[in-house]
Structure 1
Amino acid sequence: MKIAVARETRDGESRVAMVPELVGKLTELGYDVAVEPGAGQPALIADDDYEQAGATVEEGALHGADLVVSVQPLSTATIRTLPAGTATISFLPTNQEPDTVRDLRDCGVTAFAMELVPRISRAQSMDALSSQALVAGYRCAIVAAGMLRRFFPLNMTAAGTVPPAEIVVLGAGVAGLQAIATAKRLGAVVSAYDVRAAAAEEIRSMGAKAIELELETLEGAGGYAREMTEDRAARQRELLTPYIANADALITTAAVPGRQAPMLVTGEMVEQMKPGSVVVDLAAETGGNVEGSVPGEVVRIGNAQVWGGRNVPSQMPGPASRLYAQNVVNLVTLMTRTASEEQDPAFAPDFEDEIVAGSCVTHDGTIRHEPTRIALEGESA
């Protein structure tokens, strides 16, 4: 059995799908691991590190592979070189990558999408959305601290007392809670809001103040919030305005995979913030929580600098790659038949398994992910 680790080719992607310290986990399962040259370089991992861990580094590493692992979807040119029956594991945003899905289907490639791994207890160790959100949430708080031209913590000195920064975080999922925790560790006073009822207790457990608005909560499937009506959204923005106006820094993290991010903060709300204030919008790539934010850029709205996130986990490629690679190893382990007296080890995904079935996009020339199949059939009708 052979697993190939692809070199990422998309602009701005610095992560790698496998790290040397986890190669041994794959070889123990019976795999040969081949890595494309330079695959780990953006994450500061040398080819020699992979070879010392037991992998081979070679051009043409993907040739003959049973499974190809990557962070971003493979390019069209690469997909078309894969023999039918080859499997891939990567992030695969099907709504934004319909042509990639079609190529995978037409080439007979079995494709698994990390963002489609079901959010169930048994799959927590394979949940790459959560692992990468952890990195992004930490990074958001560090960006806010770096841009804000004042201390985060309280400082009491002989020259006088410097009060702590006031930080507001909107969204208390994995990224939001990590942003809260990081800002608290840096000494800021943190308040946070989330539309889900359970989030208030989670916010308080991080040492932050939960902002409570007189509005209905919006519990959704899979731990995400459900979409709100425009009337509720407008009322929410009205009630949040004074909290945001008083903040030194605002961090927004609300997003749902495969859907546009909710617009939580208008430009008018940002214009009420104090001189020197900072806004960090983690969701800028998917439409933005903050009106006017631009992915990968810092723009000025009123007195505030607004930082738009773009592939934020990739800005910390070392830890992000390590966490993602562990998710991949755990998923591969689930799909691997171990050796016994009767049979050899093999990559043999069981499509009756809820995790395997839920994360599979294409297999055997068909699109197995029902929402994607319906969407693509609708386009061609």
Structure 2
Amino acid sequence: MKIAVPREIRADETRVALDPDACKKLLALGLEVAVETGAGLAANFPDRAYQEVGATIAPDATALLGGADFVLKVNAPQARPDGTHEVDSFRPGTMLLASIFPTRNLDSVQRLAARNLTAFSTDCIPRTTRAQAMDTLSSQANIVGYKGVLLGALELPKYYPMFMTAAGTTLPAKVFVIGAGVAGLQAIATAKRLGASVTATDVRPEVKEQIESVGGKYVGIDLNQGASAGGGYAAELSAEDKALQAKLLAEHCATVDVVITTALIGGVFAPKLLDEAIVKSMKPGSVIIDLGADGGGNCTLSKLGSTVVVHGVKIVAPLNLPATVPTHASMLFARNLLNFMTAFWDKEGQRFNLDWTDDILKGCAVTHEGKVVHGPTLKALDPTQGGKA
């Protein structure tokens, strides 16, 4: 089987789907691996590093994709600057493994189906014990939480830690983290290590111990209904519970220096949690780091991919933060893909085992045999279908 690793064409992307180490392990399974020239350069993996482990370097993306049995990518296929689309270069019947975020990229999904490609999206992999080693959503969210705290430290006109000097003592910054998923927990831990006083909240009360275990103080919300959607995800709140949440956020945001939002519904779309009234109530010089920007943003005033100042509060809404740590982000992403390929690779028969009874494979399959087969994506394409294939 021929594996192809193209260079990512997204403008702000520096990651690569396979690093040389993961490439070496796939070769050991009996697969052939071809990497587009320059694919790993931005992540500090030059062509020679792939050649040294036995991979082939391909000079042309179109030929590379057209000759592949299985394509490994970071992002969903997208339009090229010349107007063509990456999907057009795939041979019908090819398989694809990437972080597609299918409900955000409906055009790409429809193209994948029309091209008769079998596509798997790593961000849709079920959050189970067996699947956690394949979960790119978690491995990359960890980076998002870490970098978000560092951005807050850079933008805040204060120290994070307490300093006692001959000139006087500065009190530690107060950091408030909204959402205690993978990104949120990493943000809490990183802010705590930097010396900040950290509080955090989540609509799922079961995460209280997790927040406290990484150094945060839990700020709870007494909701009228459960808010966990399972798999580590939060469910959308009722109108009444949204009002309770808004009241708590308004009270707490007014007392802190940095607010870091990490909330996503279903791991995909960002609920609007901070409105202009909350921003206006915050102290001058305060900072909001909107880590929900890739999902649309948690703050109504965020300008996605930019920094704005509103009512004296700096609002930072960074996009694609994992790409700012491309070496480690690529290594972790590649290991996730390697674990997926290894789990379903029949080494004896030298084939990929399309076992549709497997929960992981079923959960992350987006297109197959010319159809969209992912329930939430079907619902996004046609809400009247209710997510039925």
- TM-score norm. by structure 1 comes to 0.94
Q: Which AA in structure 2 matches 1:44?
A: N
Note if 1:3 corresponds to 2:24. Answer: no
Provide the residue aligned with 2:248 in structure 1: 239
Provide the residue aligned with 1:58 in structure 2: 58
1:157, distance to aligned residue in structure 2 (A): 1.8
1:375, distance to aligned residue in structure 2 (A): 4.5
1:349-360 equivalences in 2 (<5 Å): 349-360=354-365
1:258, distance to aligned residue in structure 2 (A): 6.7
Per-residue deviation, residues 39-86 of structure 1 (Å, max 9, x unmatched): 112222211111112211112333421110001112363322222221
Distance 1:271 1:374 in 2: 37
CA contact (8 A) 1:66 1:347 kept: no
Summarize the Cα distance change of 1:371–1:168 in structure 2 as closer, same or farther, 3 Å threshold: closer
Distance 2:353 2:370 in 1: 17
Q: Which AA in structure 2 matches 1:346?
A: R
Distance 2:273 2:380 in 1: 28
Note if 1:267 corresponds to 2:276. Answer: yes
1:1-381 equivalences in 2 (<5 Å): 1-59=1-59, 60-75=63-78, 77-216=85-224, 217-257=226-266, 260-339=269-348, 344-376=349-381
Alignment length (residue pairs):
376
Q: Which AA in structure 2 matches 1:238?
A: K
* SS, match of residue 62 in structure 1: helix
Summarize the Cα distance change of 1:378–1:262 in structure 2 as closer, same or farther, 3 Å threshold: closer
* SS, match of residue 276 in structure 1: coil
Distance 1:213 1:110 in 2: 43
Distance 1:374 1:275 in 2: 43
Tell me which moved more, 229-238 or 2-11: 229-238
Distance 2:232 2:104 in 1: 23
Per-residue deviation, residues 107-139 of structure 1 (Å, max 9, x unmatched): 221111111111111100011111110010001
1:287, distance to aligned residue in structure 2 (A): 2.7
Q: Which AA in structure 1 matches 2:211?
A: I
Per-residue deviation, residues 8-32 of structure 1 (Å, max 9, x unmatched): 0112111110111211110111111
1:228, distance to aligned residue in structure 2 (A): 0.8
Distance 1:155 1:258 in 2: 38
CA contact (8 A) 1:115 1:257 kept: no
Per-residue deviation, residues 188-227 of structure 1 (Å, max 9, x unmatched): 0000000101111111111111112333452222221111
Identity %: 42
Summarize the Cα distance change of 1:372–1:276 in structure 2 as closer, same or farther, 3 Å threshold: closer
Distance 2:301 2:49 in 1: 43
1:305, distance to aligned residue in structure 2 (A): 0.4
* SS, match of residue 33 in structure 2: strand
